[in-house]
Amino acid sequence: MHQGNQTTISEFLLLGLSNQAEHQRLLFVLFLGMYLVTVVGNGLIILAIGLDSYLHTPMYLFLANLSFADISSISTSVPQMLVNIQTKSQSISYESCLTQMYFSIVFVVIDNFLLGVMAYDRFVAICHPLNYMTIMRPRPCILLTVVPWVLSNIVALTHTLLLLRLCFCDSNTLSHFFCDLALLLKLSCSDTMINELVLFIVGLSVITFPFALILFSYICIVRAVLRISSTEGKWKAFSTCASHLTVVLLFYGTIMGVYFFPSSTHPDDKNKIGAVLFTVVTPMMNPFIYSLRNKDMKGALRKLINRKSFFPLMP
């Protein structure tokens, strides 16, 4: 079936979220709607930050990167799923599958790192307000933006190169709506011990280090806020990080709910639920969280929508 380390499989079959024919139209409409909301919502945030000079600060630079990562994350899986539903085809080429897996890893990892960086930014702003502009100078900000992208690509490249050495002998069916690394490892007929060990160590590190930074930052933030005498001052300080904290709770709450609590449902269904929450629901919710809970962002979005250049055909 295979020669050396070369696979004879040229494509994989993605079974999607449901094999019921009557569910396909509903899934298509639902996921198309969520995809458009995510792209438009996060796109507006990027445009608002780019066009409003008042938002040219470190916090909004990181938010723009998070919005771009969210658009990219949902775009790695949902368009392919919509095409498969529309064409009634479940196939994806071997090369496309690995490419999809690579970018899905990149954007999940970058979300972790960016949430950690944003927590550090809030820590500096609240705990060291007088030194904020000194600490968060343009060069450190660029570094805090670029390093997560580099690290996430290194993580994805490591998993992809390790996967290339594996053989796929008989089955090419994935019970998922995109090419997930864990399922590809299960499908392989090669020894995957090294892949699974790297997946465990790197995956644990990718979750643990940003979460530790977030936890440390918010412990310091809470202590600093409690030292403020006035209630108004406490609320003003806390409100600057309320949106970020909401996103953190949504992101890591999903991880705990899906992967750390036992469930009586089938493992495949649990993996699909987790993937939908990470790649679709969370990216869709982020624009609403930041626009509804952030006065500056609401003002920037209002100005963006009212700009005549944004709607050039309107009188």
What does the block give as tokens for 222? 């809470």
pLDDT category of residue 6 using cuts at 50, 70 and 90: very low
Task: For residue range 8-38, list pLDDT tens digits in order.
Answer: 678 888 888 877 777 888 889 999 999 999 9
pLDDT over 90 (residue 296):
no
Question: Which pLDDT belongs to residue 225?
Answer: 87
Which residues, in sequence order, are CB contacts of 107 under 8 Å at separation 6+? 69, 70, 72, 73, 76, 152
At 145, the pLDDT band (50, 70, 90 cuts) reads: very high
Q: For the residues 58-79, what does the mean pLDDT come to?
A: 92
pLDDT category at 116 given cuts 50, 70, 90 is very high
Average pLDDT, the chain: 84
Q: Closest Cα to residue 275, out of 41, 121, 78?
A: 78
Backbone torsion region of residue 168, taken as left when φ is above 0, otherwise alpha when ψ lies between -120 and 50, otherwise beta: beta
Helices 282-292/295-306 angle, 10° precision: 100
Query: Hey, which of 106-120, 225-239, 287-301 has the most confident mean pLDDT?
Result: 106-120
Strands laid side by side in the 173-174 sheet? 91-93, 11-14, 173-174
Length of the chain counted residue by residue: 315
- DSSP alpha helices (H): ranges in 52-93? 58-87
Q: What is the mean pLDDT of residues 253-260?
A: 70
